[in-house]
Amino acid sequence: MTVQVVTGNHAAGYALSAAGEANRTARGAACGIYPITPQTEIVEYVARFPFSKARIVPVESEHSAMAVSIGASLAGARAFTASSSNGLAYMTENVMVAGYYRLPIVMVAVNRTLGPPWNIWADQGDTLMLRDFAWLQFYCESNQEVLDTTLLAFRLAEDRRILLPVLTCMDAFIVSHTQTETTLPEQALVDSYLPDLQLPHRLRYDEARTIGGMVWPHEDLSQRLEIDEAMKRVPDVYQECRQSFRDVFGRDPGDVIQTDGTDDADTVLVATGTMATTAREVVRKRRAAGEKIGLIKIKMFRPFPAAAIREACGSARRVAVLDRNYAAGSGGVFWQDTRAAFQGHRNDVLIQNYLTGLCGEDVTPSVIDQILADLASREVAGDPVWMGIETGKETLQ
């Protein structure tokens, strides 16, 4: 293993390429690629990688990038791509197809604000828009986590008990363009972690099957139920993939939720991505000063780890959910699902939503402090609160 100072995009490109190369002893790798800021460096990395058995197709749109990957996956190759923001919006129809065709495609997404107006900075609204499409979703906070989770994603997606595509997400620029020390595993290790892909339902040239034609309602329903069953198997299979990862690479790719100080906390912050990094610093500092606060970082968003989150909250009575996204007319997406996780289980927890860091705003330690102060002052939960907005304050209030 070599430790290099690389960007999050480099780490993602490395992981996708190494996974594709690892399938050279089977049916190879193939995918469609298309540029969009801030993920372009990922597909550039893939395009210049010296694969032994692969075809990288530089297509004319994101919609076709996913379509090429779908065709390649149906033919039994390892397939992947990367995108961001409006690119994901344009790709959406075929994103849905990959899920319903049960194809183990891995996509890295760099979370960028959806336009208009045009804004290249971090916001999770793009991938959360795809939340209901039979894809697994992981949110990462560091370059190493991006690399490790992307490799793990292939193993998980291709497991016969799962056979669903996986989306690995990182915050625009804060991760994608920031260089940090990252351990890049040798190809031989990736080869041993990712066995040859044997897609059981791949199409064979000498077998007359029709994939994706018309079905009657009950047939379609049974396919949806199978997806639900596969989703329910994810938490256990994830732990197996995580253990294998530790065995092969000697590193922990991280649990589906990660906690700090929640055991005795009466106040818990729930955060994702790089917001969790900042929140963790605040939590550790304030715990050292004697405050009983904790942090839950949600790494896996689909399937949603409701029971794990509920359990991790322990006896805490106040929960602040930080959302770097806004579902217009409702609130933050992580808040919606976190609140639903408690429904019918506990009604003594005050769960308040804070919309922060949207459209690329920074979530600084002082923003976290403001959130904690607001939470402490509340008797009951209210509507989602916009927090840490430096501009347009007058119109927001």
Partner 1 sequence: MNATAPLQKSDSCLLRPGNTNCGGCGMSVGLTMLGRALAEANDSCSLVIPACCGIVTAGAFPTTSYGVPTIAATFASSPAVASGYASVRDLNDEPGQVICWAGDGGTYDIGLATLSGAAERNENIIYICYDNEIYGNTGGQRSSATPIGARTTTTPTGKSEAKKNIMAIMTAHGIPYAATLSMAHPEDFSRKLATALSMTGMRFLLMHSPCPTGWKSEPEDTVELVRIAVASGLFPVYEVFDGARYRVTVEPDGSDPAEYFHRQRRFKDEDIDLDATRRSCVDRIHRLRMLAREYPV
Residues found near partner 1 in the complex (CB under 8 A): 27-28, 30-32, 53-55, 57-61, 63-65, 67-77, 79, 93-94, 97, 203-216, 219
Nearer to partner 1, 57 or 108 (CB): 57
Identity of the amino acid at 179: Q
What are φ and ψ of residue 37, in 5° steps? -65, 135
What are φ and ψ of residue 223, in 5° steps? -70, -35
Q: Which two tokens stand for residue 271?
A: 């955060």
Residue 29 Cβ vs partner 1, minimum distance, rounded to whole Å: 8
370 in helix, strand or coil?
helix
Nearer to partner 1, 29 or 312 (CB): 29
Which residue shows structure tokens 């790798």?
29
* Separation between Cα atoms, residue 82 and residue 169, nearest integer Å: 10
* Separation between Cα atoms, residue 263 and residue 242, nearest integer Å: 23
Residue 12 Cβ vs partner 1, minimum distance, rounded to whole Å: 21
Residue 61 Cβ vs partner 1, minimum distance, rounded to whole Å: 6
Residue 291 Cβ vs partner 1, minimum distance, rounded to whole Å: 52
Nearer to partner 1, 52 or 315 (CB): 52
Residue 248 Cβ vs partner 1, minimum distance, rounded to whole Å: 26
Nearer to partner 1, 55 or 224 (CB): 55
Residue 281 Cβ vs partner 1, minimum distance, rounded to whole Å: 44
CA distances from 133 to 71, 127, 130, 160, 368 (A): 18, 11, 6, 19, 32
Which residue shows structure tokens 């992580």?
334
Burial string for 222-256 (b: 16+ CB within 10 Å, else e) reads: eeeeeeeebbeebeebbeebbebbeebbeeebbbb
Nearer to partner 1, 25 or 243 (CB): 25
Q: Which two tokens stand for residue 30?
A: 């193939």
Nearer to partner 1, 69 or 278 (CB): 69
